[in-house]
């Protein structure tokens, strides 16, 4: 139970125009927080503002505001925006229906929204209380003052501006976006002594101005861990996707001194997914960002160290030690290593695409750009699950979504449930036997040349948005000469190393490699980087846990 600094005078305020929902929210809050906080409820935005003003006059503290989005006369965002003038330090939560998630995302920039919750929130022990606990702890830690936020000034069609926004969003760093064309954006540029020719400008919470920052510098400035706390670990995990996070949770929970090293942001490709509906335990689906956040917090709870924006460039075996080298020349040693580097989307090789990447052309979901697609025609290239999930998500606001597939159908490469959803969504169409032949635009994507592979006919179409999901390439080139890989770069393990009945060259142990073990003893692989892996979130998490079990077995025998 989170304890308030002044229990008798600290308030959690909830507002919902539906009396039944209003009473239910207040009931659940009082049940969990009633001994330490006073729960005040209102049934309209106006009534809630009146209550806040009375509380202000009495000198009461307000820790959290919970507002329903769909209220007549004054919706939840409008209420929270006015409430900021009264209690700027209160944490802000928006209650939304599934169809209103775009509005909730927009509210992050409008009112510095701390969290949005989908209704219903049952069971509150899983969906409501953990969120409120975190917000109350944050409120107390900031001495009840409004949290300073990172500010990003950039251009709508600047590739690096888009990259910075995506980096901050995927690492769950709160930020506010300002266009370089708007007054506040110009004021920030002027204050930093910049003319706007070099973008983006990032102003960190402590007031430091960073111009076109690299990910590692940005990570360090906004409070992400980038430097290992020790020089030696029981377990080093390379890669922070589902497999890496699964390994971090199990490794740390079983007492291994564990560090996870991620080059961009935890979650991997799965973390960019707008909705995963076939993951065990989430019958209503879960976004990749939500799943990643829970896994990251779970790993940290058990004591795993997580490093962000650190590129690993080498792996060496020196006796029983495994040395992991970073791009800056530093290194850590480990008793065991799990490679969970995952895969990256293959680049679309067509004229104009490279020049427009980040300026209308994006690889993966790029959820920070989704709101800007509202009312526009969107093209998605690819026919696997990631493409289908993105299409369903973008179709909520886009004028139309067209999936471009090289093959004759999507049924072989996409899960059945997604195929059915696409067929039932009028805004989505699928064009088979179609490839992108060229992308056109001076400063941003404007048109695409599409070719029908069956007829050979080419067509020029208007397009401002294209999201590409065209297969995966393993991120394993840095392992050349150390770890054995197949012809496509995927890492060989266990039975694949002993297919001819003999151990791999250089293997010195009197046992064959374990199932997920590479040709280097004590170095294991989990997830998509492994040859013949299933390429599914659930299997990656399972392999992460299994790799930890095998690492334990290796350590016990060493």
More confident residue, 371 or 444: 444
Check for a shared fold between 150-221 and 232-344+473-557: no
Secondary structure string (H, E, C) spanning 312-370:
EEEEEEECCEEEEEECCCCEEEEEEEEECCCEEECCCCCCCHHHHECCCEEECCCHHHH
Q: What is the pLDDT of residue 191?
A: 83
Q: What is the pLDDT of residue 517?
A: 98
pLDDT score of 298 more than 60: yes
d(CA 78, CA 102): 15
Average pLDDT of the residues of the chain: 90
Secondary structure (DSSP) of 61-105 = EEEEEEEES--SSS-HHHHHHHHHHH-TTSEEEEEE-GGGHHHHH
- pLDDT tens digits, 202-229: 999 888 899 999 999 999 999 999 999 9
Secondary structure (DSSP) of 448-494 = EEEEETTT--EEEEE-SEEEE---EEES-GGGTTTS-B-TTSPBP-G
Closest to 90 in 3D by CA, of 15, 30, 163: 15
- pLDDT tens digits, 94-119: 888 766 666 666 666 666 788 888 88
CATH class of the 150-221 domain in this structure:
alpha beta
Secondary structure (DSSP) of 367-427 = GGGGGGGTTSEEEEE--SHHHHHHHHHHTTTSSEEEEE-SSS-STTTS-HHHHHHHHT-TT
Measuring CA to CA, how many Å separate 98 from each of 104, 117, 418? Answer: 10, 9, 18
CB within 8 A of 214, min separation 6: which ones? none
pLDDT score of 261 more than 50: yes
Domains of the chain, residue spans: 7-141, 150-221, 232-344+473-557, 353-470
How many other CB atoms sit within 10 Å of the CB of residue 115?
Answer: 16
pLDDT score of 467 more than 90: yes
pLDDT score of 440 more than 90: yes
* pLDDT above 70: percentage of residues in the chain: 94
Measuring CA to CA, how many Å separate 56 from each of 62, 113, 132, 145? Answer: 9, 21, 22, 14
Q: Which of 48-62, 136-150, 536-550 has the lowest mean pLDDT?
A: 136-150
Q: What is the pLDDT of residue 302?
A: 96
Q: Exposed (0-12), middle (13-18) or buried (19+): which is 420, by Cβ within 10 Å? A: exposed
CATH class of the 7-141 domain in this structure:
alpha beta
**What length does the chain have?**
558
Q: What is the pLDDT of residue 143?
A: 58
Prior bond of 200 cis (ω within 30°)? yes
Q: Are 128 and 117 in contact (CB under 8 A)?
A: yes
- pLDDT tens digits, 5-27: 444 568 999 999 999 989 999 99
Tokens standing for residue 180:
């370089």
Kindly state the average pLDDT of the residues 158-174.
90
Closest to 231 in 3D by CA, of 316, 321, 160: 321
Rg of the chain on CA atoms, in Å: 25
Q: What is the pLDDT of residue 337?
A: 98
Kindly state the average pLDDT of the residues 533-547.
95
Q: What is the pLDDT of residue 8?
A: 54
pLDDT score of 2 more than 60: no
Bridge partners of 401, per DSSP, are 378, 428
Q: What is the pLDDT of residue 485?
A: 97
Query: Burial code of 479-502, b = ≥16 C-beta within 10 A, e = fewer?
Result: beeebbbeeebbbbbbebbeeeee
Q: What is the pLDDT of residue 114?
A: 85
Kindly state the average pLDDT of the residues 151-177.
90
Q: What is the pLDDT of residue 540?
A: 96
290 HSE (CA, 13 A, CB side): 18
How many other CB atoms sit within 10 Å of the CB of residue 144?
Answer: 17
The continuous run of DSSP H or E covering 221 comes out as: helix 215-221
Q: What is the pLDDT of residue 289?
A: 84
The continuous run of DSSP H or E covering 260 comes out as: strand 258-262
Q: What is the pLDDT of residue 81?
A: 85
Is 547 strand, coil or helix?
A: helix
pLDDT score of 500 more than 90: no
Q: Which of 37-41, 82-86, 419-423, 525-529 has the lowest mean pLDDT?
A: 82-86
Kindly state the average pLDDT of the residues 528-544.
94
Kindly state the average pLDDT of the residues 45-59.
84
Q: Is CATH 1.10.4080.10 what the domain over 353-470 is classified as, yes or no? A: no
Bridge partners of 396, per DSSP, are none
How many other CB atoms sit within 10 Å of the CB of residue 99?
Answer: 9
Kindly state the average pLDDT of the residues 135-150.
73
- pLDDT tens digits, 335-369: 999 999 999 889 999 999 999 999 999 998 777 78
CATH superfamily of 232-344+473-557: FAD/NAD(P)-binding domain (3.50.50.60)
Kindly state the average pLDDT of the residues 230-259.
97
Give phi and psi for 465, each to the nearest 5: -140, 130
Q: What is the pLDDT of residue 119?
A: 80
């Amino acid at each position: 139970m989170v304890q308030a600094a002044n229990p008798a005078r600290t308030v959690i305020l909830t507002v919902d125009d539906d009396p039944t929902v209003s009473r239910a929210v207040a009931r659940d809050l009082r049940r969990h927080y009633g001994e330490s906080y006073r729960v005040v409820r209102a049934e309209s935005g106006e009534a809630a503002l009146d209550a806040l003003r009375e509380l202000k006059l009495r000198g009461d503290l307000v820790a959290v505001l919970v507002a329903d989005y769909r209220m007549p006369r004054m919706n939840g965002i409008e209420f929270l925006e006015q409430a900021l003038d009264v209690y700027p330090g209160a944490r802000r939560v928006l209650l939304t229906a599934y169809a209103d998630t775009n509005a909730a995302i927009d509210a992050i920039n409008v009112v510095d929204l701390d969290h949005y919750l989908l209704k219903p929130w049952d069971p509150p022990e899983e969906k409501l209380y953990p969120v409120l606990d975190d917000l109350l702890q944050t409120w107390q830690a900031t001495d009840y003052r409004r949290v300073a936020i990172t500010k990003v000034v950039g251009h709508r069609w600047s590739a690096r501006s888009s990259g910075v926004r995506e980096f901050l969003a995927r690492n769950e760093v709160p930020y506010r976006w300002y266009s370089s064309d708007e007054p506040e954006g110009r004021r920030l540029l002027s204050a930093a002594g910049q003319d706007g020719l070099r973008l983006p400008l990032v102003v960190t919470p402590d007031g430091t101005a960073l111009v076109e920052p690299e990910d590692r510098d940005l990570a360090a400035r906004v409070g992400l861990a980038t430097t290992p706390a020790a020089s030696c670990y029981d377990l080093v995990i390379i890669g922070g996707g589902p497999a890496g996070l699964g390994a971090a949770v199990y490794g740390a929970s079983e007492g291994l001194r564990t560090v996870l090293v991620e080059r961009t942001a935890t979650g991997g490709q799965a973390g960019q997914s707008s909705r995963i509906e076939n993951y065990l335990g989430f019958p209503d689906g879960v976004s990749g960002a939500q799943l990643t956040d829970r896994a990251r917090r779970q790993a940290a709870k058990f004591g795993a160290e997580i490093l962000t924006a650190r590129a690993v460039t080498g792996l060496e075996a020196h006796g029983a030690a495994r040395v992991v080298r970073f791009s800056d020349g530093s290194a850590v040693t480990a008793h065991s290593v799990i490679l969970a580097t995952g895969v990256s989307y293959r680049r679309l090789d067509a004229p104009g695409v490279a020049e427009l990447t980040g300026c209308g052309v994006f690889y993966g979901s790029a959820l920070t750009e989704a709101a800007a697609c509202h009312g526009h025609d969107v093209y998605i290239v690819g026919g696997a699950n990631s493409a289908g999930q993105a299409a369903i998500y973008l179709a909520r606001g886009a004028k139309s979504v067209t999936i471009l597939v090289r093959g004759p159908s999507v049924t072989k490469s996409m899960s059945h449930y997604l195929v059915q959803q696409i067929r039932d969504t009028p805004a989505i169409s699928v064009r088979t036997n179609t490839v992108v032949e060229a992308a056109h635009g001076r400063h941003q994507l404007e048109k695409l040349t599409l070719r029908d592979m069956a007829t050979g006919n080419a067509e020029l179409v208007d397009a401002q948005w294209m999201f590409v999901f065209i297969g995966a390439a393993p991120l394993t080139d840095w392992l050349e000469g150390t770890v054995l890989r197949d012809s496509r770069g995927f890492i060989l393990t266990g039975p694949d190393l002993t297919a001819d009945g003999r151990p791999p060259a250089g293997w010195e142990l009197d046992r064959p490699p374990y199932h997920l073990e590479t040709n280097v003893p004590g170095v294991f692989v989990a997830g998509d980087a492994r040859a013949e892996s299933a390429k599914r979130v659930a299997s990656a998490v399972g392999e992460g846990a299994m790799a930890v079990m095998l690492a334990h077995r290796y350590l016990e025998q060493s």
